[in-house]
Amino acid sequence: MELDFPPVPVPLSWILLAVLPVLFYLYAVRPMQALKKLGVSGPTPLPLIGNLHHTIQAGLYNIEAQAYGMATYGKVYGVYNGRVPVLVISDPEMLREIFVKQFHKFTNRAPEGMALDVKPQSRMLTQLLDEDWKNVRSTISPAFSGGKLKQMTEAMNSCADLLVGNFGNFAEKGESFDTKELTGAFTTDVIARTGFGLDVDSQRNPQDPFVVYSKKAFSFNFLNPLIWLFFMFPSVMKPILEKFNYNFMAKDVTDFFYNILEQVMGMRQSGHGRVDFMQLMMDAHKDDDVDSSDTQEGKVQGTKKPLSKDDVVANAFLLFLAGYETTATAMAFTLYNLALHQEAQDRARQEIKQVMEGRDLVNYEAVHSMPYLDMCISETLRMYSPAANNGRVAGEEVKLKWLTIPKNTLIVIPILGIHYDPERWPEPNKFIPERFTKEEREKRDPYDWQPFGAGPRNCIGMRLAMMELKVGLAKVLMKYRIVTGPDTDIPLKIMKYKQFPTPENGIRLRAEPLCPGSD
C-alpha cells in the first residue's frame, strides 16, 4: 500500500537558515585556511575579521609586537587583514629575492585594485604600479643625483643656521625644548627651499601654514572605522569610497598643497626659472643626467616620459611630505641618542670640527668625510626607523625556497622586528654606533638594516636625507652640547597608534653653549 503524503510547504526562513551558515562558512571562514595551505603558521584568525583585532591591538608602531611575531612564528608567518592573507617575511634569503633578484615580480607595494584611486595619492610614486612607476621614478631620479645635491648645499646650510639660532634661543634661557618641533621646522624649510624654491619661514614662525598642514597631513586617524571596513571588504568599500571621492588625508591639507604647488607650476611655466626639485621635475624628461648610483643595487630601467600636471603636483606633494617628517624624526632621535651618550657626542663633534677646519659650508664633500656621525645616524635609524614596515606584492605566483607565494599576495617586511632581532643585533636596545664601522657593515647581511627599504624601489630621497641630517647635526653640534634635562623621558615612551615613532611627551632636550676652543 502506498502512502500519499500531502506536500508540506518549506518556509523561506527555513531555507535561509540552512543556506546562511554555508554562505557564512564560504565567505568568512574558508578564506582563513589560505595560509595553512601554504604551510605558513601565524596567530589564529577569527572569521571575517581575520587578525584585525591583533593588528588594532598592536597599533602602527610597535617594536615589541613585531619582535614577538618573529620570535613566536619565525622568519615567515602569516596574518589576515580581514579575509586577505598577508605574509610577514624577514628571512634574509627571501628578502634578497623579493627586493632585488626577482624584483620584476615584486615591483608594487599593493595589488592593483587594493589602493584607492583618489587624487593626489593615486598618482604618487609610492602608489604607482609597474611601468607607470618605472616611468615616473626614472623621471624624478635625476633630481636626487650627486650634482643636484651639491647645488642644494647653500640653501641647506642657511636653513641649518636658522636651526642653530633656534637652539641658541633655548640655550640662552636655559630652557628645554621639544626637539622634533625644531627639527621639523628645519626639514620643512629645507624641502620647501631646495625642492620648490619657496622661502617658507617655519623656523621663525611655528604657525606658518606649511608647518601646520604638514603636521596635519600625518595626523592620520588609525582608529577611523572606514579604514577597517576598507581592510575587511576592499572590493565593496573601494567603489563606495571612490564614488564619494573619499580621501584618508584631510581635505584642507590636500587643498592647501594642491593650490600652492599649482601656483608654483604656473610661475615656472611663465619663465620663473630656478634650479630646484620642482623645476627638475618639470624639466626632467628632457634631462639626460640620470645618476647611476640612483639605487643601492640596481638602476631603474624606465623610459622617461613627460609628467602630466597631475603627476607633477602629486609627486611634489609626496616629496614634500616624505622629505619633512621622516628626516625630522631621524634628526630628533639622533640628538636624543647623542644626549644620552656624551662620549659618542664628543667623538662626533671632534670629527666635525676637524672636517670643518678651513671650510665655511658643510658641503657635499664635508658630509662625506664624517664617518662617525654617519655611524651615529645609522644606529639611530636602526633603533628608531621612521618606517615601521615595508611592503611588496607578488605580481605573479613565485616560489621562494619552500614557499609558493600566490599571485597578488601582500608581503609585509617587519623593519622594526628585523632591527631588534637579537640574532642580527646583539643587545638590540643599546645604542652602539660601532655596529656601523666599515668592517661591521661588510660582515652583515644588507637586509638586516633597512630604514630606507631596499632594491630598485628603495627610498629615492635617501641621499638627500642623509645630507640634510649631517648638515643640520654638524652645525648644531659645533655650537652646542646637547644634554638631557629633568623633563627628558628615559627611556622614551613611543605611542603605538602613530605612523612614525612619536614619544608620548616629545623628545625634551637642552642645549648648552660650548666654550670657544672646547671639543
Shortest reach from residue 125's CB to ligand HEM, in Å: 5
Rounded to whole angstroms, the Cα distance separating 408 from 84 reads: 10
**Cβ atoms within 10 Å, residue 53:** 12
**Cβ atoms within 10 Å, residue 242:** 13
Rank residues 265 and 381 by Cβ distance to ligand HEM and give the closer one. Answer: 381
Per-residue exposure over 165-186, b if at least 16 CB sit within 10 Å of its own CB, e if not: ebbeebbeeeebbbbbbbbbbb
Q: Which three cell numbers stand for residue 131?
A: 611601468
Out of 100, 125, 253, 405, point to the residue binding ligand HEM (CB under 6 A). 125
Out of 120, 234, 461, 472, point to the residue binding ligand HEM (CB under 6 A). 461
x-or-dash string of contact with ligand HEM, 357-396, rule CB under 6 A: -----------------------------xx--x------
Rank residues 280 and 509 by Cβ distance to ligand HEM and give the closer one. Answer: 280
Shortest reach from residue 399's CB to ligand HEM, in Å: 22
Q: Which residues pair with 309 in a beta bridge?
A: none
Rank residues 330 and 509 by Cβ distance to ligand HEM and give the closer one. Answer: 330
Rounded to whole angstroms, the Cα distance separating 183 from 327 reads: 8
Shortest reach from residue 461's CB to ligand HEM, in Å: 2
Shortest reach from residue 413's CB to ligand HEM, in Å: 8
Task: Point out the residue whose Cβ comes nearest to ligand HEM.
Answer: 453
- Sheet strands side by side (includes 508-513): 177-178, 508-513, 480-484
**Ramachandran angles phi, psi of 65, nearest 5°:** -65, -40
Q: Find out whether 159 is annotated in a ligand binding site.
A: no
Rounded to whole angstroms, the Cα distance separating 313 from 478 reads: 38
Give the binding-site size for ligand HEM (rule: CB under 6 A).
Answer: 24
Rounded to whole angstroms, the Cα distance separating 311 from 303 reads: 16
Kindly state the greatest CA–CA separation across the chain.
118
Site residues for ligand HEM, 269-328, by CB under 6 A, read 318-319, 322-323, 326-327
Out of 265, 339, 460, 473, point to the residue binding ligand HEM (CB under 6 A). 460
Q: Is 142 in the site for ligand HEM (CB under 6 A)?
A: no
Rank residues 451 and 503 by Cβ distance to ligand HEM and give the closer one. Answer: 451
H or E element that contains 225 = helix 225-232
**Ramachandran angles phi, psi of 435, nearest 5°:** -65, -15
Out of 265, 362, 459, 467, point to the residue binding ligand HEM (CB under 6 A). 459
Shortest reach from residue 343's CB to ligand HEM, in Å: 24
In eight-state DSSP terms, residue 513 is E
Q: Which residues pair with 80 in a beta bridge?
A: 85
Site residues for ligand HEM, 429-458, by CB under 6 A, read 451-454, 457-458
Q: Is 472 in the site for ligand HEM (CB under 6 A)?
A: no
Rank residues 184 and 453 by Cβ distance to ligand HEM and give the closer one. Answer: 453
Please, which residues have CB within 8 angstroms of residue 381's CB and are 6 or more apart in sequence? 330, 449, 451
Shortest reach from residue 436's CB to ligand HEM, in Å: 15
Q: Are 235 and 116 in contact (CB under 8 A)?
A: no
Q: Is 126 in the site for ligand HEM (CB under 6 A)?
A: yes
Site residues for ligand HEM, 51-110, by CB under 6 A, read none
Rounded to whole angstroms, the Cα distance separating 92 from 89 reads: 9
Rank residues 182 and 387 by Cβ distance to ligand HEM and give the closer one. Answer: 387
Q: What is the CA radius of gyration of the chain?
A: 25
Shortest reach from residue 32's CB to ligand HEM, in Å: 28
Rank residues 138 and 363 by Cβ distance to ligand HEM and give the closer one. Answer: 138
Please, which residues have CB within 8 angstroms of residue 297's CB and are 6 or more apart in sequence? 99, 100, 446, 454, 455, 456
Site residues for ligand HEM, 321-350, by CB under 6 A, read 322-323, 326-327, 330
Rank residues 237 and 278 by Cβ distance to ligand HEM and give the closer one. Answer: 278
Please, which residues have CB within 8 angstroms of residue 19's CB and are 6 or more apart in sequence? none
Kindly list the residues in this chain that would bind ligand HEM in the complex (CB under 6 A). 125-126, 137, 318-319, 322-323, 326-327, 330, 386-387, 390, 451-454, 457-461, 464-465
**Residue positions forming the annotated binding site for heme:** 459
**Residue positions forming the annotated binding site:** 459
